Structure 1
Amino acid sequence: MGRVGGSGRVTGFGRVAGFGRVGGSGRVAGFGRVAGFGRVAGLCRVAGSRRAGRATGRAHPAPDQDGLAADPLDALAQRLDGFVAAAVHPDEIAAILESDGMTDEHIRLTYGRADSFSLAEDLYARVERRHPEPAAPPAGAWYGELAGCLLRGLVFALPGLAYVLAAPLLAAGHGRFGLPAGTVPLLAGAVTGWVWNQALAHRAYTWLGLGDRPAAARALLTGAPAGALAGAAVALAAAGPGEIPAAVFAAGQSLYLAAATVLLVLGRERALLCALLPLAGAVPAFRWDLPDALRAALLLASLAASVAFAALVLRPGARRGAAGRGGPPRAASLPYGLFGLGSGLLVLHAGVSDTLVSGAGAVIALTLSMGPAEWLLHRFRDGSLTRLRTLTTAREFRRAVTGTLVLCLGGYLTVLLALTLAATLAWPGAPWPTFPRLLTLLLIGTVLWLGLLLQAFGAVTSAATVCLLAAAAQTVEPAAGPVAAGGAAAVLAALTCALLVRPTAHRG
């Protein structure tokens, strides 16, 4: 969004990264890059009068046919007619004026207005609103997007079957912190992978947004193995006595997360789905005991297929010089990793804060819901762009976008509730979730969806901070889960309403 300085000047609109690509525990597909209001060549240049003004300190408009000096504001309005007619708010015009280098001194000398905001308001009032009709979406686009998002939700959830297959192979008994043995190294490896792969996915998507797919493959080629090693090392370091099998499984989990990040970032969801098909062997394990050798074989087959597919799609990144330019700063990807940490911890709290069965059902529901969540994020984006082109006032736009936001969030929470109840019915012996548990789950879902929405519009630091604080509060005091999740949801809702009702936030 526009950065407002001390004097109220809009200094430009920053580039917004691709729409919330989230690796690991809930990756959201990109809307594409929303470019800022950069310089428009020749759009705001007042050719003759502006050069004269710079040379003498004052503009000298050429007289018209009647011998009267022409109003320079008329000439500027004519040059900017298309942009001004489509603007929803004067701040949009002020941004383009300043991006073209118009200073307050030049505006005072040439147009007799105090600053860019006063000049923008005059232009906004002088030019009649004319908004182009939004382009009709391609036939079947919504259904195509929905199918793709549901596929992604499925590949997010299928890895959970690996835990069903591996459960008899891991250490039994009680572990540390009141958790089953092996839980600590598993969680340590998973959280490390989430943080690393979130940041890595953001960097790769930045390259894709620049149109350099080989450079994105190169970033994944170097970053994915490093993330797998980091997750395995942390899991082994966190393992206690008798937890080595769990640490080995966590190392395989880290390797899978790295391979899945590669495939998801490069758009190979179907390949990942094929790699996960061996895990379907876990379905009979819900009722019958499978041989340990078969369990291990299914796990290794799925892991090997994931790594092989990832290696195949990374071949362009192995070419010499594929990385090209120096690339975006690595520090820019850090907030995305922190958001992955906060959201991942919230999902873990939803799973371990209740009994094992109902907690697993909550995690399954949250994971599966990421597919519909992605589709609803697309719908919000498309709806806001349509209203940006069809509405004539900022007030109408605010009301319309607020209504779209409420509908999309309400739709996501409805899907999450339905998935939770379906998981409860499908899981043998699962207890019916209590109202406080359902409320906490819905609040966590609200935090995740709003956080992903803010991340998509560039406010990832705020979303990450709120999620981390909520996760830290639940870690320190598990009983404070509903309060922490509710507070985080309220803060994110306020931030979303403050940021996304502005027309300038949606200009692309």
Structure 2
Amino acid sequence: MSGSLWLKPPTTTPPLPAPPRPAPAPDPAAAVPDPDPAGTAPDPLDALAVRLDAFVAAAVHPDEIAALLESDGMTDDHIRLAYGRNDSFELAEDLYARVRRCHPEPPPPDGGPAWAEGLGGCLLRGLVFALPGLAYVLAGPLLAGPQGRYGLPAGTVPLLAGAVTGWVWNQALSHRAYTWLGLGDRAAAARALLAGAPAGALAGTAVALFAARDGELPAAVFAAGQSLYLAAATVLLVLGRERALLAALLPLLGALPALRWDLPDPLRVALPGLSLAAACLVAARALRPGAGRGAAGRGGPPLAASVPYGLFGLGSGVLVLHAGLGDSLATGTGAVIALTLSMGPAEWLLHRFRGAGLTRLRTLTTAREFRRAVTGTLVLCLGGYLTVLLALTLAATLLWPDTPWPTPARLLALLLIGTVLWLGLLLQAFGAVTAAAAVCLLAAAAQTLEPAAGPLAAGGAAAVLAVLSRVLLVRPTAHRL
């Protein structure tokens, strides 16, 4: 869900001046004195600099100005005729040199420390990402059976198949709904969720049933409930109803005693069933605005634009599964818990990186200073996320029963996967979702085909994403969305 954090309504730029009209040809019969005997006719570039003064003064690099000129349709032919420069880049360099740098001060905070802005909401999202894991604790004994396929416990394959289908579908659906929200049409976002969420639940259920074999019907039924929950949670998270989702998940806290003691089977069924019913009811209520008909003739975002987000969900989801399975389910439990809980701090650090980039645009005066500052912020945010992930892994190992300490090799593999996830989310947030999805899919495919190459695949993916992030995000134009 975090890949869509940064979508917002498109901004507008000030209109560029129209090209100056040519002066009428002088009448040779009229004795008109030369209006400019010294040859000091005003340069039209001065008028353009005055009109664009605020934007040019705040620009960190001439490329920002060139992007503005080109986005307004100013062609090279027009630039040569009207301003005597060869192209938009030369014109932008002249404007950049003529206008003194003047970056506005960042707005004062509304209240509270700046570092805490949005932290509570992000931590809340991390909590609602992790709480559904208690449903597996409750249902575990009910799904027990003979050894399943691929050396996994019974029922694992249909559960994983349904979960991956839900991740792919709901990532793409979230992007489409967030795009409508960015256009200011909340009712259209609700309509997209109303149509897409039930379809995603049906798709996840169908895939889980298809993947089930003899003796795995209970797991397929649980996977159907899992798919239904993923659809409801997607609706509530996209529409900003995290607190309502948390309230719906509270019955799952009854699973905590199951970590130490056995619970009766009716209670094991009732608690997740109650949370599922509550989440679906709250989601249905949140979708009421989508029940009405949309405005006639209004076109929506292209469906193809959401496909890369679904592919990124597929790649990142498979990587998380590999982190959880590892050598055994016991050693991977702490890793999955840590990765799930870390999504809240990861989202907050993405916000901090975005905010720091905008602040640097307002306060720095050269492109070199901007590159150095953004690189430092990138290193600090990534390092902060990996520190949180490591701390959560150690805490989960201590608190979760019968979880062995991870070896240094498994810790390294987990941190590499965390690097891939965070950098992928960062690139997705800045519009480079296709590159992030491709790298994650290649790493996931390599680890699936050759599990022993997992650390190497994750390390290569982390290195590629780090280079891409450094190349793309040090450009000032990347931060002017």
Please give the range of the TM-score, normalised by the shorter of the 2 chains. over 0.9
Deviations 1:84-136 (A, max 9, x none): 11111111111122222222222222222111111111111111111111112
1:65-144 map, 5 Å: 68-140=40-112, 142-144=115-117
C-alpha distance in 2 between matches for 1:241 and 1:327: 44
1:497-508 map, 5 Å: 497-508=470-481
Contact 2:4 2:429 in 1 (8 A): no
User: Which SS does the other structure have where 2:95 is aligned?
Assistant: helix
Q: 2:276 aligns with which of 296, 299, 303?
A: 303
Contact 2:105 2:362 in 1 (8 A): yes
Amino acid at match of 1:52: P
Counterpart residue number, 1:333: 306
Counterpart residue number, 2:8: 33
Contact 1:218 1:322 in 2 (8 A): no
Contact 2:4 2:428 in 1 (8 A): no
Instruction: Give the fraction of aligned pairs with identical amino acids, expressed as a percent.
Output: 78
C-alpha distance in 2 between matches for 1:443 and 1:129: 41
C-alpha distance in 2 between matches for 1:63 and 1:174: 96
Distance 1:114 1:67, change over 3 A: closer
Counterpart residue number, 1:291: 264
Residue 68 of structure 1 and its aligned partner are, at CA, apart by 3.4
1:52 is aligned to 2:22: yes
| Aligned residues between the structures | 472
Deviations 1:134-156 (A, max 9, x none): 11222126425111110000000
My pick for the range that moved more, 489-498 or 74-83, is 74-83
Distance 1:64 1:337, change over 3 A: farther
Residue 460 of structure 1 and its aligned partner are, at CA, apart by 0.3
1:416 is aligned to 2:380: no
Amino acid at match of 1:31: W
Residue 46 of structure 1 and its aligned partner are, at CA, apart by 3.6
Residue 188 of structure 1 and its aligned partner are, at CA, apart by 0.4
C-alpha distance in 2 between matches for 1:505 and 1:468: 24
Counterpart residue number, 2:360: 387
Distance 1:322 1:292, change over 3 A: farther
Contact 2:9 2:182 in 1 (8 A): no
My pick for the range that moved more, 104-113 or 267-276, is 104-113
1:35-434 map, 5 Å: 35=10, 40-41=14-15, 44-46=16-18, 49=20, 51-52=21-22, 68-140=40-112, 142-321=115-294, 325-434=298-407
TM-score in terms of structure 1 length: 0.90
Q: 2:415 aligns with which of 442, 445, 465?
A: 442
C-alpha distance in 1 between matches for 2:340 and 2:22: 63
Distance 1:324 1:370, change over 3 A: farther
C-alpha distance in 1 between matches for 2:401 and 2:72: 65
Amino acid at match of 2:282: F
C-alpha distance in 1 between matches for 2:280 and 2:431: 32
C-alpha distance in 2 between matches for 1:226 and 1:429: 38
User: Which SS does the other structure have where 1:52 is aligned?
Assistant: coil
Q: CA RMSD in A?
A: 1.9
Residue 209 of structure 1 and its aligned partner are, at CA, apart by 0.3
User: Which SS does the other structure have where 1:224 is aligned?
Assistant: helix
Deviations 1:241-286 (A, max 9, x none): 1000000000000000000000000000011001111111111111
Residue 322 of structure 1 and its aligned partner are, at CA, apart by 6.4
Contact 2:119 2:348 in 1 (8 A): yes
C-alpha distance in 2 between matches for 1:34 and 1:483: 40
Amino acid at match of 1:340: G
C-alpha distance in 1 between matches for 2:155 and 2:480: 49
Residue 35 of structure 1 and its aligned partner are, at CA, apart by 3.4
Counterpart residue number, 1:18: none
Contact 1:29 1:374 in 2 (8 A): no
C-alpha distance in 2 between matches for 1:63 and 1:175: 93
Contact 2:333 2:403 in 1 (8 A): no
Counterpart residue number, 1:472: 445
Residue 64 of structure 1 and its aligned partner are, at CA, apart by 6.6
Distance 1:408 1:324, change over 3 A: farther
Q: Which runs of 5+ in 1 are unaligned?
A: 1-21, 57-61
Residue 350 of structure 1 and its aligned partner are, at CA, apart by 0.1
Deviations 1:295-343 (A, max 9, x none): 0011110110010000010011011336972210111000000000000
C-alpha distance in 2 between matches for 1:210 and 1:301: 36
My pick for the range that moved more, 283-292 or 170-179, is 170-179
1:452-471 map, 5 Å: 452-471=425-444
Distance 1:323 1:457, change over 3 A: farther
Distance 1:385 1:34, change over 3 A: farther
Deviations 1:384-413 (A, max 9, x none): 100011000000000000000000000000
C-alpha distance in 2 between matches for 1:261 and 1:78: 48
Contact 2:205 2:223 in 1 (8 A): yes
C-alpha distance in 1 between matches for 2:237 and 2:350: 18
Contact 1:316 1:322 in 2 (8 A): no
User: Which SS does the other structure have where 1:432 is aligned?
Assistant: coil
C-alpha distance in 1 between matches for 2:469 and 2:422: 11
My pick for the range that moved more, 27-36 or 177-186, is 27-36
C-alpha distance in 2 between matches for 1:77 and 1:319: 49
C-alpha distance in 2 between matches for 1:39 and 1:402: 28
1:495 is aligned to 2:439: no
